[in-house]
Structure 1
């Protein structure tokens, strides 16, 4: 171990930054965030340092560095592009046994500035001993995805209850078990969801209970898995998928997304296809209730977004009636994914000033929609689950005033390596679907924005089977 990881208390302490450029500004900002009194020694200050000076966040010493500048400082940072000055700063600091960091010169450092994940009061720091700052930043970026931004609030909340927990549990082992339950259970999830008052109430109720370690009801996470590309998952979705005890998933969740869930979690398939439901919706609702009442953390993983033709509202309605804790994590809906990965913007000021999402398959099996509203000019219409009814969709739009040559696109398995795009117009698309071997899941986009596809398509077409046009 080349450097001992140490967190230093700098609140109200004098610290020196030598240099007036942007690198010096960034180092000064970190010291300011740590509560230090920052002195900057430089002939000229960058614009950002001038702003900090105007806001009284730093003190400026003009002119060139002098060895006496180090006197009384808790630590020193040299951030100039002059090797002679940097060496002089190092010599002066070490002579007074003051910790010194010379940016981009590990040999002149007695301490290293790590890459920081700041969830104050929770702080994670990553260092490569100065050998590869870029690698340290990459590792920090990975940690950023794993550590929710609300961990700081959670830490402050637990600090407020520390003495009460000590008074409640005599044994350190009991205190440890209590905090493990709190920090890995529904209380933590409430804080992450911004429900701090409820979380505090549950902690207090748990402490007041005759048996504070009794089994609690589990929780359901209604998670949007996005359109297929696992890189499109949100940080929260990934975190909940990796901590759930059970994954209840649909047919539209891609294998790549499902593979990111916790390896040892139980997986229950409840997929639906047209005219065939592996598990009826009411049974799915009751399954979620049963699993949660068994104390399990349940991830209800849906393709796209749970609240856009995902029947998520029906499921959480049942959970609310049964008093089951739940949270909803939005996902990128299929329309947004298909639009982005085909270079077809859903809105554009020259072509479309509004966008409408519609389902091509109603509960009663019909597609009896508000066709006059859907056939409006300067509007993009997106149909979910419309492959089987494509003939009716095109005919009805034409019947209600939409020109027969209006562009239409059909996107199969959007955002995945199997993505395929078919373009045409309202008059020709039914024949294209009949001729080609097109399979669900598919999305239908109608509107003049499709004209922008060839110009705006950025997705590497070699990553999928091909683009076909009618």
Structure 2
């Protein structure tokens, strides 16, 4: 974040504008909309600025800048063509810890003006930090189109009732649920259609309805890594969460999408390390939900594919807690797509089987006769943990030693790494992989070189090339 976006109250505050041309006039108009006291220093005033002076909307202090005019000033805008004067003003403002903006000179700005979408009191401000103004304009057009012109009326009415709602609902969670429910009702539509009385009646009805807090557990699949693969429903839930329990595999980009005032708790487990137990995670989920909170369990991939999601909602059901499940793109689907390896193909594979590299509990045993069938693609989650054992078992029961394999780490991200080899080379391959990795076994891997489309710095490697490189070193 190059700039921290802030909304500053300029009402009745003294602002100094040096310059009175077209550019300065545009800044002055914006400042007047914010009810600032605008003071101008300029040799000459443009016609537009003269009109503002006649209407007594601005003060013309002087034709020449002097340090005395920086006294009791809140912020400064310099909009002149005099480079030396601009530099001098910037320097002196910094010495006095004054906010200053030298127009069209980003290096001499302690603040910048964003692109503004005004639905007062709802304000949307956007900025690219001066890097992509055309992109910003296109984004603004899209947002302008989806925000109704009367959206400000919704906020104004809500603001007038805010103190009454605060007195009625003592608990902050109850208030939040009330407003969420209200803004999703026909309350908003009535205001947008000019029917304010009907809207207020709906507000009153919702106010006196039973709004007792009822906790909920929501399982959300975060997808395989790329934040763009998070589902729209998943994003909506993250914006409504009170608490989020997340795994290590969830990317920072996705964590940044969680509502800012939600509490985030990492409950991830890593192989070989001391971790929080699944039993403790379930107890924490239930404890938080019983407090009336909307608790999100955020998991990498999909909650129901080796994510123990079934155990968690079973516990929620047993505890009488409401629950939802938002599926995610499981790692096998996402990673195979990003590596150009179709898991099924009419020429190479008639089906696909997902298994985990972790040993199963409660006596579950893999059906090796099916797993060894070359007409199926085999995808092994957390594949490096038991890779050697699995490979030997597959070869013993009929899979060819030359069966192509792909080991993919950090799949779907810009750090994705793919190593291609064959089943008999698995012991060598895993020396060059990082965990967690996904292992794809089957003839469909042959299509990787032809169909790979997601390119990054960590290009695919053939295991033979890796060893030739190692020997050269």
Q: TM-score of the superposition, structure 2-length normalised? A: 0.56
Q: Map 1:177-188; keep pairs closer than 5 Å.
A: 181=177, 184=180
Distance 2:456 2:267 in 1: 32
Q: Tell me: CA distance 1:142–1:432, structure 2 relative to 1, closer, same or farther (3 Å).
A: farther
Q: Which residue of 1 aligns with 2:289?
A: 292
Q: Map 1:28-427; keep pairs closer than 5 Å.
A: 135=138, 139=142, 181=177, 184=180, 212-213=209-210, 215-276=212-273, 278-364=275-361, 368-427=365-424
Contact 2:178 2:206 in 1 (8 A): no
- Cα offset for 1:185? 5.8
Q: Which residue of 1 aligns with 2:94?
A: none
Q: Tell me: CA distance 1:258–1:208, structure 2 relative to 1, closer, same or farther (3 Å).
A: closer
Contact 1:380 1:448 in 2 (8 A): yes
CA deviation map 1:93-114 (0-9, x unaligned):
xxxxxxxxxxxxxxxxxxxxxx
| Structure 1 gaps, min length 5 | 1-130, 145-170, 190-206
CA deviation map 1:267-325 (0-9, x unaligned):
11111122445211111111111111111111110000000000000000011111211
Q: Which residue of 2 aligns with 1:450?
A: 445
CA deviation map 1:342-392 (0-9, x unaligned):
110101111111000011112449995211110112210000112121111
Distance 2:146 2:304 in 1: 29
Q: Which residue of 1 aligns with 2:113?
A: none
Q: Which residue of 2 aligns with 1:119?
A: none
User: What SS does the corresponding residue of 1:422 show, helix, strand or coil?
Assistant: strand
Q: Tell me: CA distance 1:143–1:222, structure 2 relative to 1, closer, same or farther (3 Å).
A: farther
Distance 1:303 1:142 in 2: 34
Distance 1:422 1:391 in 2: 16
User: What SS does the corresponding residue of 1:221 show, helix, strand or coil?
Assistant: strand
Contact 2:415 2:456 in 1 (8 A): no
Q: Tell me: CA distance 1:465–1:321, structure 2 relative to 1, closer, same or farther (3 Å).
A: same
- Cα offset for 1:179? 9.6
Contact 1:232 1:332 in 2 (8 A): yes
User: What SS does the corresponding residue of 1:346 show, helix, strand or coil?
Assistant: coil
Q: Tell me: CA distance 1:138–1:333, structure 2 relative to 1, closer, same or farther (3 Å).
A: farther
Contact 2:178 2:211 in 1 (8 A): no
The reply on whether 1:439 has 2:434 as its aligned counterpart is yes
Distance 2:346 2:332 in 1: 19
- Cα offset for 1:440? 1.1
CA deviation map 1:390-416 (0-9, x unaligned):
111110110110111000110001011
- Cα offset for 1:220? 1.6
Q: Which residue of 2 aligns with 1:430?
A: 427
For 1:460, which of 455, 464, 467 is the aligned residue? 455
- Cα offset for 1:469? 3.3
Contact 1:271 1:277 in 2 (8 A): no
User: What SS does the corresponding residue of 1:411 show, helix, strand or coil?
Assistant: strand
Q: Tell me: CA distance 1:142–1:247, structure 2 relative to 1, closer, same or farther (3 Å).
A: farther
User: What SS does the corresponding residue of 1:139 show, helix, strand or coil?
Assistant: helix
Q: Give the CA RMSD over aligned residues.
A: 3.6
| Structure 2 gaps, min length 5 | 1-133, 148-162, 186-204, 465-473
Contact 2:384 2:437 in 1 (8 A): yes
User: What SS does the corresponding residue of 2:314 show, helix, strand or coil?
Assistant: helix
Distance 1:346 1:408 in 2: 12
Contact 2:215 2:322 in 1 (8 A): yes
Q: TM-score of the superposition, structure 1-length normalised? A: 0.56
Contact 2:215 2:289 in 1 (8 A): yes
Contact 1:186 1:218 in 2 (8 A): no
Distance 2:287 2:435 in 1: 31
Count of residue correspondences: 295
Contact 2:182 2:206 in 1 (8 A): no
Contact 1:367 1:389 in 2 (8 A): no
